[in-house]
Structure 1
């Protein structure tokens, strides 16, 4: 532990290593993988855990963990293990989603400010993100009942049967269902700023500024009671383009795996064929192999 200022409550306390994507997601990814998980920055390096930072004190970690446990038991595991597609929710879900995006936003603002010229961000966007981060923090500390000017959306990456020809080779099921990530992005021209978090196909978008011509259907989670279904979801937004970028980056990353590491992966499959055939990895690979080429709205 390190004694520093907690990013949430602002008190100087012993900080804990906080996961950006919640730990239960990482555990499930490891549990359902045939082999080890790999570092996004160096695919030839095996990692035992997800991204962590000295961010929160123990009290704030404990506060967030309450909502993480609720999300894991009511949404994540039923969706992953039991194929549940319809969920009633209350304000606890909104709190959890806000807490996840806030972690990335807080760290990304620090990075944007330090490398503003490199990332091409301007003062107006930074000020918007800082304002939204402050509002989210006040809400998470329960000093305010809501957060002004943000929207939380969940997109379930469901099975698809066909895809545009240029994207078939990106292995979309494997890419989204077998990975985790969280980061903030912005589009200056369309004026959309958001944080994207992929939790093995449960994809969270928190919008801080939304472009004028965007269309979101059956995705928004309000700060109250509601119903969310893994069906009939529509996103017409630069955020959807971000998903395409993830697919293309994953395809490019696959070429960076060394021959030695590829041989090790192949050996695990060869040595444990029955386990591989029963695995979630094989299931997603088969769906990708069966994809048909052609135009699609998904």
Structure 2
């Protein structure tokens, strides 16, 4: 893939906007998961975030990447503010996803999928059919968001739907919920049945999902029996299994990180940073 942007200076990156596709335009350092989420996780104003799989990578207010032009960044910010007021700063659970929350979820999970496909290249090892389906998925979401931004009628296929699940409503052990309360993660995956292509973002005890169920796609896993192929789990059960898997993996990695931090002296440095604060 050709380089999408070039750094003109430490403060300015010029390239192609991931959403509107304008070229040779200044790109903002855009959050994949909005800054407002990290602000609500911080236990102290000086709190910094670290990449759990590379603890030397530090993010002051969450992970940012040169991704969007100023216009597209502003467009996303509008939905993020509305979402924060309705959901993050409310004690009420989401009973039904309303219009604004739906748009926020599309904007959030499109960023996660785009990052997986074209920045992290984390879907490279999947077979061609699955990867091409994810590429089509990203294009559908991109077109939808551009139509929404340009005040055109945004139409999304019925094969794509958003869901929000709270960890406490899933069969997740309480200790896992507590230990992962300050973690933020987002990624894309395909179910074992090859029938659902899911983008999931997890933070603050929530799993925010965009699910694509292509009607005309048939991928048969040779290791599955016909009975297993026909059986389709509910979305909730699928997400429950995924959250259980991810939270356990996060805790295992946290234990490894803690051991490394103590061995290198980083643990004591962090303690000193927040001592008496």
TM class by smaller structure: 0.7 to 0.9
**Higher relative CO (CA 8 A, sep ≥ 6), structure 1 or 2?**
1
Q: From the two aligned structures, give the one with the greater strand fraction.
A: 1
Partner residue, 2:226? none
Partner residue, 1:128? 133
Partner residue, 1:247? 247
Partner residue, 1:295? none
Determine helix, strand or coil for the equivalent of 2:55. coil
Partner residue, 1:105? 113
Q: Compute the displacement of 1:138 (Å).
A: 1.3
Which structure 2 residues correspond to residues 155-174 of structure 1 after superposition, within 5 A?
Answer: 155-158=165-168, 163=173, 171-174=175-178
Cα 1:158–1:61 change in 2 (3 A) is: same
2:234 alignment partner, one of 202, 215, 240: 215
Partner residue, 2:154? 145
TM-score (norm. length: structure 2)? 0.75
Unaligned runs of 5+ in 2: 1-11, 215-228
Deviations 1:1-37 (Å, cap 9, x if unpaired)? 3221111111121110110001100111124699543
- Residue-pair matches, total: 240
Partners of 2:171 and 2:120 in 1: CA distance: 38
1:178 alignment partner, one of 167, 178, 182: 182
Is 1:47 paired with 2:47?
A: no
Cα 1:71–1:114 change in 2 (3 A) is: closer
Partners of 1:122 and 1:213 in 2: CA distance: 21
Is 1:26 paired with 2:38?
A: yes
Partners of 2:107 and 2:89 in 1: CA distance: 19
What is the Cα-based RMSD across aligned positions, in Å? 3.0
